[in-house]
């Protein structure tokens, strides 16, 4: 039990002196910036004139977005990317974390899985663009050994997004494995011993002990993974250039191109607001789950 101390005038002053750079930063790069985005999303602005002279167009930027087939396909691709990447990462990294638990040299294995997490996404994109090369990439080469026919992974609209999702899963597993491992270690060994005495199989133990007890970690990773995945940019920018835009482009790329290639700041801001709404819904959904799950450590 903490007894709230009365704050003195000097302490108030000291606190605000310590916070002043942060408050100044948030005033400029957050509050003003968000307001600016909202303001511009209702206007037509090309960045060449003063934003104050930008013509007010009402909600038309938002309306026009949904009649732009490229925006709609970007939205669909983002949803496909976010869900498949997150689900695959969570399932695979849980399985790997369980398999790694109590395995010899587990630290070495974890490092191997972790390497892509620190690697710049641009480097990952470059490496995999070569690996996916239809004639001299090793992906088709290895698949050929297994008798699987070669594909133009990054240029064929049917495969391009899937190929990028596979890379995202490859790159994203390491961090989740680490967090799952921490979660697995928190499960008391006595539960497993009791189950073993009762003659439970490993599979049975996984489904009746591990899975229910690791649930908070699974939820946490699903949602943080999802929030990150909604905003994917680097991998798609590097690897998605040779496929038709409608098959790989995601919202973030749509925003970038609309703003900094076409200089349509109004519709780019409107698209950014829509992305924000998606992220916000995901976050609020998570916070709800956390509260229900009794995780209050963020307070």
Q: Taking a C-beta distance cutoff of 8 angstroms, is the pair 88, 169 a contact? A: yes
From the list 53-61, 74-82, 153-161, 230-238, the region that binds another protein by CB under 8 A is 230-238
Rule CB under 8 A: is residue 240 a binding residue for another protein?
no
Site string for another protein, 16-55 (x = CB under 8 A): xxxx-xxx-xx-xxx-xxx-xx--x------x---x----
Rule CB under 8 A: is residue 15 a binding residue for another protein?
yes
Site string for another protein, 257-286 (x = CB under 8 A): --xx----x--xx--xx-xx--xx--x---
Tell me which residues in 172-191 interact with another protein (CB under 8 A): 172, 175, 178-179, 182
- Residues contacting another protein: total by CB under 8 A: 96
Tell me which residues in 58-77 interact with another protein (CB under 8 A): none
The rounded Cα 75 to chain-centroid distance in angstroms is: 15
Beta carbon of residue 35, minimum distance to another protein (angstroms, whole number): 8
Q: CA-to-CA distance for 251 and 81, rounded, in angstroms?
A: 11
Tell me which residues in 96-155 interact with another protein (CB under 8 A): 96, 99-100, 103, 109, 111-113, 115-131, 135-138, 141
Rule CB under 8 A: is residue 229 a binding residue for another protein?
no
Beta carbon of residue 41, minimum distance to another protein (angstroms, whole number): 9
Beta carbon of residue 150, minimum distance to another protein (angstroms, whole number): 11
Beta carbon of residue 63, minimum distance to another protein (angstroms, whole number): 20
Site string for another protein, 185-224 (x = CB under 8 A): -----------------x-----------------xx--x
Phi, psi (rounded to 5 degrees) for 56: -75, 130
Q: Which is nearer to another protein, 67 or 135 (CB)?
A: 135
Residue 102's region, left for phi above 0, alpha for psi from -120 to 50, else beta, is left
The rounded Cα 28 to chain-centroid distance in angstroms is: 26
| Dihedral over Cα of 22, 27, 32, 37: its sign | positive
């Amino acid at each position: 039990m903490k007894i709230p101390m009365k704050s003195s005038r000097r302490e108030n002053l000291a606190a605000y002196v310590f916070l002043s750079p942060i408050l100044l930063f948030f005033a400029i790069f957050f509050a003003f910036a968000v307001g600016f985005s909202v303001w511009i999303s209702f206007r037509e602005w090309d960045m060449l004139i003063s934003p104050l002279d930008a013509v007010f167009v009402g909600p038309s930027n938002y309306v026009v977005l949904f009649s732009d087939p490229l925006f709609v396909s970007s939205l669909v691709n983002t949803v496909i990317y976010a869900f498949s990447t997150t689900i695959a990462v969570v399932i695979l990294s849980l399985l790997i974390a369980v398999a790694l638990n109590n395995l010899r040299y587990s630290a070495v294995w974890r490092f191997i899985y972790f390497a892509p997490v620190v690697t710049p996404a641009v480097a990952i994109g470059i490496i995999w663009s070569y690996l996916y090369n239809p004639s001299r990439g090793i992906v088709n080469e290895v698949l050929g050994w297994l008798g699987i026919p070669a594909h133009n992974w990054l240029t064929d609209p049917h495969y391009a997004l899937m190929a990028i999702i596979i890379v995202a899963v490859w790159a994203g597993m390491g961090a989740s494995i680490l967090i799952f491992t921490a979660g697995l270690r928190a499960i008391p060994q006595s539960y497993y011993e009791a189950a073993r005495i009762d003659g439970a199989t490993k599979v049975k133990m996984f489904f009746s002990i591990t899975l229910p007890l690791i649930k908070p970690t699974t939820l946490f990773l699903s949602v943080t993974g999802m929030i990150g995945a909604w905003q994917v940019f680097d991998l798609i920018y590097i690897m998605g250039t040779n496929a038709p835009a409608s098959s790989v482009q995601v919202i973030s790329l749509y925003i970038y191109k609309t703003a900094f290639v076409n200089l349509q700041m109004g519709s780019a801001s409107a698209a950014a607001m829509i992305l924000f709404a998606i992220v916000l819904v995901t976050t609020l959904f998570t916070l709800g789950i956390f509260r229900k799950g009794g995780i209050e450590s963020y307070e």
